[in-house]
Protein backbone atom coordinates (compact mmCIF):
# COMPACT_ATOMS: atom_id res chain seq x y z
CA UNK A 1 0.00 0.00 0.00
CA UNK A 2 1.44 3.37 -0.94
CA UNK A 3 1.59 6.23 1.53
CA UNK A 4 -0.98 8.11 -0.51
CA UNK A 5 -3.38 5.19 -0.37
CA UNK A 6 -2.89 4.81 3.39
CA UNK A 7 -3.59 8.52 3.83
CA UNK A 8 -6.88 8.19 1.99
CA UNK A 9 -7.85 5.06 3.87
CA UNK A 10 -7.16 6.79 7.19
CA UNK A 11 -10.09 9.02 6.29
CA UNK A 12 -12.40 6.04 6.77
CA UNK A 13 -13.17 5.25 10.42
CA UNK A 14 -14.68 1.92 9.41
CA UNK A 15 -11.49 0.80 7.69
CA UNK A 16 -9.44 1.88 10.69
CA UNK A 17 -11.73 0.02 13.06
CA UNK A 18 -11.34 -3.19 11.04
CA UNK A 19 -7.54 -3.18 10.96
CA UNK A 20 -6.80 -1.64 14.37
CA UNK A 21 -7.81 -4.49 16.69
CA UNK A 22 -4.56 -6.49 16.29
CA UNK A 23 -2.56 -3.25 16.29
CA UNK A 24 -3.85 -2.33 19.76
CA UNK A 25 -3.09 -5.81 21.09
CA UNK A 26 0.45 -5.83 19.66
CA UNK A 27 1.29 -2.39 21.00
CA UNK A 28 -0.22 -3.29 24.37
CA UNK A 29 1.86 -6.46 24.72
CA UNK A 30 4.98 -4.61 23.59
CA UNK A 31 4.32 -1.89 26.15
CA UNK A 32 3.82 -4.47 28.90
CA UNK A 33 7.10 -6.25 28.08
CA UNK A 34 9.13 -3.03 27.80
CA UNK A 35 7.67 -1.38 30.90
CA UNK A 36 8.03 -4.44 33.12
CA UNK A 37 11.65 -4.99 32.01
CA UNK A 38 12.59 -1.33 32.29
CA UNK A 39 10.89 -0.82 35.65
CA UNK A 40 12.31 -3.97 37.29
CA UNK A 41 15.76 -3.13 35.91
CA UNK A 42 15.53 0.46 37.08
CA UNK A 43 14.11 -0.35 40.51
CA UNK A 44 16.24 -3.33 41.48
CA UNK A 45 19.31 -3.65 39.26
CA UNK A 46 20.42 -0.20 38.14
CA UNK A 47 23.07 1.38 40.36
CA UNK A 48 22.16 4.21 42.76
CA UNK A 49 23.35 7.71 41.86
CA UNK A 50 26.55 8.75 43.66
CA UNK A 51 24.92 12.02 44.78
CA UNK A 52 21.21 11.31 45.01
CA UNK A 53 21.32 7.69 46.16
CA UNK A 54 18.30 5.53 45.47
CA UNK A 55 15.89 8.42 44.91
CA UNK A 56 17.32 8.61 41.38
CA UNK A 57 15.16 5.58 40.61
CA UNK A 58 12.18 7.96 40.36
CA UNK A 59 13.80 9.08 37.10
CA UNK A 60 12.68 5.85 35.39
CA UNK A 61 9.05 6.86 35.83
CA UNK A 62 9.33 10.67 35.82
CA UNK A 63 11.30 11.24 32.61
CA UNK A 64 9.27 8.90 30.33
CA UNK A 65 5.93 10.32 31.49
CA UNK A 66 7.12 13.91 31.06
CA UNK A 67 8.37 13.14 27.54
CA UNK A 68 5.22 11.31 26.45
CA UNK A 69 2.99 14.05 27.88
CA UNK A 70 4.70 16.62 25.68
CA UNK A 71 4.66 14.35 22.63
CA UNK A 72 0.93 13.78 23.12
CA UNK A 73 0.30 17.53 23.03
CA UNK A 74 2.38 17.94 19.89
CA UNK A 75 0.49 15.01 18.30
CA UNK A 76 -2.76 16.85 19.02
CA UNK A 77 -1.36 19.96 17.37
CA UNK A 78 -0.42 17.92 14.29
CA UNK A 79 -3.85 16.26 14.26
CA UNK A 80 -5.38 19.72 14.56
CA UNK A 81 -3.55 20.89 11.44
CA UNK A 82 -4.68 17.75 9.56
CA UNK A 83 -8.26 18.35 10.67
CA UNK A 84 -8.33 22.04 9.76
CA UNK A 85 -6.58 21.60 6.41
CA UNK A 86 -7.91 18.28 5.10
CA UNK A 87 -11.08 17.97 7.27
CA UNK A 88 -10.19 14.37 8.01
CA UNK A 89 -12.74 12.78 10.34
CA UNK A 90 -10.19 10.64 12.16
CA UNK A 91 -8.06 13.63 13.16
CA UNK A 92 -10.62 15.12 15.50
CA UNK A 93 -11.12 11.71 17.09
CA UNK A 94 -7.35 11.56 17.70
CA UNK A 95 -7.61 14.83 19.60
CA UNK A 96 -10.59 13.62 21.61
CA UNK A 97 -8.79 10.37 22.43
CA UNK A 98 -5.49 12.00 23.43
CA UNK A 99 -6.73 14.58 25.95
CA UNK A 100 -7.44 12.20 28.88
CA UNK A 101 -4.17 10.30 28.39
CA UNK A 102 -2.07 13.45 28.12
CA UNK A 103 -3.76 15.10 31.06
CA UNK A 104 -3.18 12.15 33.40
CA UNK A 105 0.41 11.69 32.23
CA UNK A 106 1.20 15.38 32.81
CA UNK A 107 -0.27 15.16 36.30
CA UNK A 108 1.85 12.05 36.94
CA UNK A 109 4.99 13.79 35.68
CA UNK A 110 4.35 16.69 38.05
CA UNK A 111 3.66 14.41 41.01
CA UNK A 112 6.76 12.28 40.46
CA UNK A 113 8.77 15.47 39.94
CA UNK A 114 7.61 16.68 43.35
CA UNK A 115 8.37 13.31 44.97
CA UNK A 116 11.85 13.44 43.42
CA UNK A 117 12.41 17.04 44.42
CA UNK A 118 11.72 16.45 48.12
CA UNK A 119 14.73 14.18 48.84
CA UNK A 120 16.93 15.96 46.25
CA UNK A 121 16.23 19.64 46.89
CA UNK A 122 14.53 19.34 50.28
CA UNK A 123 11.23 20.78 49.02
CA UNK A 124 8.19 19.30 47.36
CA UNK A 125 8.00 22.15 44.90
CA UNK A 126 10.92 23.97 43.32
CA UNK A 127 10.48 26.39 40.43
CA UNK A 128 12.98 24.68 38.19
CA UNK A 129 12.77 25.08 34.42
CA UNK A 130 11.45 21.63 33.67
CA UNK A 131 8.79 21.41 36.40
CA UNK A 132 7.57 24.90 35.51
CA UNK A 133 7.21 23.96 31.83
CA UNK A 134 5.31 20.82 32.79
CA UNK A 135 3.03 22.88 35.04
CA UNK A 136 2.18 25.20 32.14
CA UNK A 137 1.59 22.11 29.99
CA UNK A 138 -0.85 20.83 32.62
CA UNK A 139 -2.79 24.10 32.39
CA UNK A 140 -2.83 23.80 28.59
CA UNK A 141 -4.31 20.30 28.93
CA UNK A 142 -6.88 21.45 31.49
CA UNK A 143 -7.89 24.23 29.11
CA UNK A 144 -8.43 21.73 26.30
CA UNK A 145 -10.41 19.46 28.60
CA UNK A 146 -12.57 22.31 29.89
CA UNK A 147 -13.27 23.56 26.37
CA UNK A 148 -14.30 20.07 25.33
CA UNK A 149 -16.65 19.79 28.29
CA UNK A 150 -18.17 23.22 27.65
CA UNK A 151 -19.28 22.47 24.09
CA UNK A 152 -22.17 19.99 23.90
CA UNK A 153 -21.74 18.61 20.37
CA UNK A 154 -18.71 16.27 20.24
CA UNK A 155 -17.78 17.12 16.64
CA UNK A 156 -17.85 20.87 17.33
CA UNK A 157 -15.99 20.37 20.60
CA UNK A 158 -13.09 18.54 19.04
CA UNK A 159 -12.81 21.01 16.15
CA UNK A 160 -12.62 23.84 18.69
CA UNK A 161 -10.00 21.83 20.58
CA UNK A 162 -8.09 21.42 17.30
CA UNK A 163 -7.73 25.21 16.94
CA UNK A 164 -6.58 25.53 20.54
CA UNK A 165 -4.14 22.61 20.23
CA UNK A 166 -2.56 24.13 17.11
CA UNK A 167 -2.09 27.51 18.79
CA UNK A 168 -0.77 25.79 21.93
CA UNK A 169 1.70 23.67 19.99
CA UNK A 170 3.15 26.73 18.27
CA UNK A 171 3.54 28.24 21.73
CA UNK A 172 5.20 25.29 23.47
CA UNK A 173 8.77 25.97 22.23
CA UNK A 174 8.38 29.66 23.06
CA UNK A 175 7.13 28.81 26.54
CA UNK A 176 10.05 26.43 27.12
CA UNK A 177 12.57 28.99 25.93
CA UNK A 178 11.06 31.76 28.02
CA UNK A 179 10.97 29.60 31.15
CA UNK A 180 14.64 28.67 30.67
CA UNK A 181 15.53 32.33 30.38
CA UNK A 182 13.39 33.22 33.39
CA UNK A 183 15.33 30.71 35.47
CA UNK A 184 18.73 32.19 34.58
CA UNK A 185 17.32 35.59 35.54
CA UNK A 186 16.18 34.50 38.98
CA UNK A 187 19.17 32.23 39.80
CA UNK A 188 17.09 29.34 41.05
CA UNK A 189 18.31 25.83 41.71
CA UNK A 190 21.46 25.13 39.74
CA UNK A 191 21.45 21.38 40.40
CA UNK A 192 19.85 19.59 37.45
CA UNK A 193 18.03 16.34 38.15
CA UNK A 194 19.20 14.43 35.11
CA UNK A 195 22.50 14.94 33.41
CA UNK A 196 22.45 12.76 30.34
CA UNK A 197 26.12 12.71 29.29
CA UNK A 198 27.42 11.49 32.63
CA UNK A 199 24.87 8.68 32.89
CA UNK A 200 26.31 5.14 32.65
CA UNK A 201 24.60 2.61 30.34
CA UNK A 202 23.20 0.67 33.34
CA UNK A 203 21.12 3.79 34.00
CA UNK A 204 20.16 5.05 30.56
CA UNK A 205 19.31 1.62 29.15
CA UNK A 206 16.39 0.96 31.53
CA UNK A 207 15.39 4.59 31.03
CA UNK A 208 15.33 4.04 27.28
CA UNK A 209 13.26 0.86 27.70
CA UNK A 210 10.72 2.73 29.79
CA UNK A 211 10.58 5.62 27.33
CA UNK A 212 9.91 3.20 24.47
CA UNK A 213 7.45 1.29 26.65
CA UNK A 214 5.45 4.37 27.56
CA UNK A 215 5.27 5.35 23.88
CA UNK A 216 3.91 1.88 23.04
CA UNK A 217 1.43 2.24 25.89
CA UNK A 218 0.38 5.60 24.49
CA UNK A 219 -0.07 4.03 21.06
CA UNK A 220 -2.11 1.11 22.39
CA UNK A 221 -4.24 3.37 24.57
CA UNK A 222 -4.80 5.83 21.73
CA UNK A 223 -5.92 3.10 19.33
CA UNK A 224 -8.30 1.60 21.88
CA UNK A 225 -9.81 4.98 22.72
CA UNK A 226 -10.12 5.70 19.00
CA UNK A 227 -12.04 2.46 18.50
CA UNK A 228 -14.57 3.40 21.18
CA UNK A 229 -14.77 6.94 19.78
CA UNK A 230 -15.46 5.54 16.28
CA UNK A 231 -18.23 3.30 17.59
CA UNK A 232 -19.85 6.21 19.44
CA UNK A 233 -19.73 8.55 16.46
CA UNK A 234 -20.87 5.94 13.93
CA UNK A 235 -23.45 4.29 16.14
CA UNK A 236 -26.30 4.95 13.73
CA UNK A 237 -24.57 3.38 10.74
CA UNK A 238 -25.44 -0.11 9.63
CA UNK A 239 -21.99 -1.59 10.17
CA UNK A 240 -21.85 -0.56 13.83
CA UNK A 241 -25.39 -1.86 14.43
CA UNK A 242 -24.40 -5.14 12.84
CA UNK A 243 -21.35 -5.27 15.05
CA UNK A 244 -23.47 -4.69 18.17
CA UNK A 245 -25.92 -7.38 17.09
CA UNK A 246 -23.06 -9.80 16.43
CA UNK A 247 -21.07 -9.11 19.62
CA UNK A 248 -21.37 -11.63 22.46
CA UNK A 249 -23.50 -10.21 25.30
Partner 1 sequence: MSFDSLQEFLAMGGHGLYVWLSYGAAAIIVAYNVVSVRVAERRFFENARARERRQTRGSDGPVASSGGSRSGDGSRDAIGESTRS
Partner 2 sequence: MSGPGRLFAAQFRRELTTALRSLQEALNPLVFLFLAITLFALGVGVDPEVLGRFAPGIIWVLVLLANLLALETLFRRDYDDGTLEQLVLLGRPLFVPVLAKVTAQWCLTGLAMTVLAPLAALLLYLPGEALGATLLTLIAGSPALTALGAVGAALTVGLRGGGVLLALLILPLYVPTLIFGAGAITLAMSGLEVRAQIYLLAAISVLSVTIAPFAVQAALRISLEQS
- Residue 200, sorted as left (phi over 0), alpha (psi -120 to 50) or beta, turns out to be beta
Angle, alpha carbons 136-137-142 (nearest 5°): 95
**Residue from 239, 216, 244 nearest 26 by CA:** 216
Q: Which does 143 bind (CB under 5 to 8 A by kind): partner 2, partner 1, none?
A: partner 2
Query: Given the complex with partner 2, which of 17 and 145 has the nearer CB atom?
Result: 145
Which of 6, 45, 146, 195 touches partner 1 by CB under 8 A?
A: 45
Do 159 and 83 meet the contact criterion of CB atoms below 8 Å apart?
Answer: yes
**Min separation Cβ 60 and partner 1, Å:** 9
Our separate counts of H helices and E strands in the chain read: 8, 0
Site residue total, partner 1 (CB under 8 A): 48
CA neighbours closer than 13 Å in the CB half-sphere of residue 178: 6
Q: Is 114 in the site for partner 2 (CB under 8 A)?
A: no
Angstrom distance (rounded) from CA 110 to CA 104? 10
Query: Given the complex with partner 2, which of 81 and 114 has the nearer CB atom?
Result: 81
Sign of the alpha-carbon dihedral angle for 235, 237, 243, 249:
positive
Residues 192-231 that bind partner 1 (CB under 8 A): 217, 221, 224-225, 227-228, 231
Which of 140, 216, 220, 222 touches partner 2 by CB under 8 A?
A: 140
DSSP notation for 87-107 = --HHHHHHHHHHHHHHHHHHH
The footprint of partner 2 (CB under 8 A) covers 84, 136, 139-140, 142-143, 146-147, 150-153, 156, 159-160, 163-164, 166-168, 170-171, 174-175, 177-179, 181-182, 185
The footprint of partner 1 (CB under 8 A) covers 18, 39, 43-48, 53-55, 57-58, 61-62, 65, 100-101, 104-105, 107-108, 111-112, 115-116, 118-119, 217, 221, 224-225, 227-228, 231-232, 235, 238-247, 249
Amino acid sequence: MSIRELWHRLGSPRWFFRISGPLATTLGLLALALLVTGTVWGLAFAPPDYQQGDSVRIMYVHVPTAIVAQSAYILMGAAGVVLLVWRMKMADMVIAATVPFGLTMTALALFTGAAWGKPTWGAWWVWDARTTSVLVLLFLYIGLYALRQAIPRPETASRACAVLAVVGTINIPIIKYSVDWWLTLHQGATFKLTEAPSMPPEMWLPLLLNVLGVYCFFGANLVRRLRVEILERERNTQWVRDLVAGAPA
